[in-house]
Structure 1
């Protein structure tokens, strides 16, 4: 079977393009966060952007490994183009990640499996799991930004300055670090799942 004639080949190319664009969109969201002096939120989104770039690299490597270099791969696919506030960007990102995690990549995995490309099917499944984590992070961040709760918690937790390491336990982070004078946006965020730090 000529790999370049398969649906899996097209899906890998589409996924590569989508992940490249997601990485760039997330860089733009991170820039919005920095404009609002939310450094650790920006760092979190940049970290996710880096993940997207690595996903794109994995898809690219499978294209080249199985189909060789090509001058052009024609795609008929749609890609999201969103603009707006930081909150809107986070909500759009959550929705985009949900689509990848629950519909796009599971479908691509099923097709790859049917076409006999078990390694590609596994890749799509693994990336879908990461996108599910990304969706959870974006959902949490969007909700916290909307509610003004990025630096608040119902019960006391440990807040740490990402600049100097100053820490204290409280229901709310300081507005300005008492040690290094970094603004609240430099306080490390508490993300929605245990044991995972970004």
Structure 2
């Protein structure tokens, strides 16, 4: 039997989605508890949210024969999901809300669609940069900042190892002082 056509796979997918949903809900609950100054209850919600996220990771690994998707795979999938949500789901939701006279909600759906288009474009650009080997190297000198210690260097490529804190290249990003 093809695993992805099995009821077991479908159940794994449902469990994965349910754990992600409850994890996000518990994080929102934690924010509310913190706002209301119930700090220990906030901690409980965050603890439970993390547990649920780990359960989701278990189910995702099982759905992928013991592996988690790579960052490149996640970027492609995220681009697809955000584009679909922006162009299909939120546009349809906005139209329905407008038709039913809920103009404020329609505007919110349209606004979130625009945000999701931005997310999709960002994921897509990063994917292209990785595929073209231009994520940590650019064709011109740019400024790079270490996310661990704040070291700023100029060059075509981020250093393989930060000369200040010793963290690897993955902790560098383009420095853009746009404040």
For the 8 Å contact 2:143–2:174, the answer to whether it is kept is no
For the 8 Å contact 1:150–1:189, the answer to whether it is kept is no
SS at match of 1:87: helix
Larger radius of gyration: 2
The equivalent residue for 1:173 is: 158
How does 1:86-105 map onto structure 2 within 5 Å? Answer: 86-105=71-90
For the 8 Å contact 1:162–1:188, the answer to whether it is kept is yes
Distance, in Å, in 2 between the alignment partners of 1:128 and 1:184 is 33
Deviation at 1:144, TM superposition (A): 2.1
The equivalent residue for 2:144 is: 159
CA offsets per residue over residues 128-165 of structure 1, 9 Å max, x none?
A: 01101100111012122223321111111110111111
Distance, in Å, in 2 between the alignment partners of 1:114 and 1:151 is 47
| Aligned residue-pair number | 122
Deviation at 1:189, TM superposition (A): 4.3
For the 8 Å contact 2:83–2:117, the answer to whether it is kept is yes
SS at match of 1:188: strand
The equivalent residue for 2:102 is: 117
Deviation at 1:108, TM superposition (A): 1.0
* TM-score, length-scaled by structure 1: 0.54
Distance, in Å, in 2 between the alignment partners of 1:104 and 1:177 is 43
For the 8 Å contact 1:157–1:169, the answer to whether it is kept is yes
How does 1:130-145 map onto structure 2 within 5 Å? Answer: 130-145=115-130
Which structure's relative contact order is higher, taking Cα pairs within 8 Å and 6+ residues apart?
Answer: 1
Distance, in Å, in 2 between the alignment partners of 1:190 and 1:136 is 20
Distance, in Å, in 2 between the alignment partners of 1:113 and 1:119 is 9
Q: Any gaps of 5 or more consecutive residues in structure 1?
A: 1-20, 28-48, 55-80
The equivalent residue for 2:37 is: none
Deviation at 1:85, TM superposition (A): 2.1
CA offsets per residue over residues 96-130 of structure 1, 9 Å max, x none?
A: 11111222211110111001111110110110011
The equivalent residue for 1:150 is: 135
Change (3 A) 1:131 1:112: same
* TM-score, length-scaled by structure 2: 0.59
SS at match of 1:159: strand
Change (3 A) 1:86 1:190: farther
